[in-house]
Structures are given as structure tokens and as C-alpha cells.
Amino acid sequence: MTCVDKYYIVDSSYANTSKFLAPYRNIRYHIARFTNANLREYASMEEKFNHRHVCLRNIVERTFGILKQCFRILSTMRSFSLETQRDVILACFVLHNFIARYSKADPIFTAPETDKVESDANDVALTQLHEDAQDHNRVGDRHKGDRMRQQIARAIWEQRRH
């Protein structure tokens, strides 16, 4: 399956649409609920999808948590256009990677990793995300999103058989 669409990976507080890929509701989701389970034995393709979804969200949140420690602008950014916000984030990634490569003594890059990610009400693009959610709440778009999520879940489920 090739998926060329772009979408936000969101939590279950958002509607699943063609632009917002949400987990299945009422199916095991939180990462802590998977740690003691035998991950080779998922109850359903929806549960396997939710596990992959939460792992991906965790990586994204941890990555932005690290960037926010390094670059204060990501926690205090004014309301710039979505394009400007994107450019600032991209610049922070480039700077982070440059510093990590050439300044091994920097304490941010030598500190032990933590699984804790601090939530911040001023997360970058949060306002734009909510505005986009308003645009994608239409019933037809929800059905399209549900079909897309089902295709992705089926493809993930089929991987276990190969």
C-alpha cells in the first residue's frame, strides 16, 4: 500500500478524518497498557493499529520535547502563519542536528533520554490544528478518513502474515 496523503497523527479527542488520523476508540491504546502484553498477540487489527499509532505519537512528542528544551521559541512562538511556523520548526531541526553532530560536549545532547514529555498549552501550530479540525469535521470527510484508517490498519495487520 502506498499512501501519499499527508495527515496529522492525533489523539482520540479529534475526529478521524482524511487529514487527522486518530486511533480507534474503545480499543486498547495507551502505551503503558501494551508494555506487559505479548505484543505478538493482538486481539484485532484495530488494536495493532492503535499500538503502532501510539508508538509513532510518542516518538513525535518526545522529539518535540527535546527541541523545545533546546529552542525556547517553540514554547513561546507568537501566532505566525502556518508556513512560517513550519520554517521555524525546520530550522530548529537543522540547527539541532548540526549542534548534535559538531558539539558533542553540549549537555542537551549528552543528557540521558527521558520518556517524560512535558505538555505545553502553547504547542507550535496548535491553534492552526484546531482550525483545521473544524474544516475536516464534515461527515463525508469522516467517512473518507475511516476508510483510509481501515486500509492502513489492514496493511499493518497483513504484515504479521509475511
pLDDT at 110: 58
Q: In the prediction, which pLDDT does 50 show? A: 92
DSSP state of 22: P
CA-to-CA distance for 40 and 134, rounded, in angstroms?
Answer: 37
Q: Report the pLDDT value the prediction gives residue 75, as an integer from 0 to 100.
A: 85
Q: Is the pLDDT of residue 124 over 60?
A: no
Q: Which band of pLDDT confidence, cut at 50, 70 and 90, is reported for residue 30?
A: confident
pLDDT at 34: 73
Q: Which residues have CB under 8 Å from 68's CB, separation 6+?
A: 74, 75, 118, 120
What is the average pLDDT score of the chain? 77
pLDDT value of residue 159: 84
pTM: 0.67
Coil, helix or strand at residue 52: helix
Helix or strand (DSSP H, E) at 60: helix 45-70
E strand residue ranges, the chain: 8-9, 20-21
Instruction: Give the model confidence (pLDDT) of 51-87 as tens digits.
Output: 999 999 999 889 888 889 888 888 887 788 888 888 9
CB-based contacts of 93: which residues, under 8 Å, 6+ apart?
67
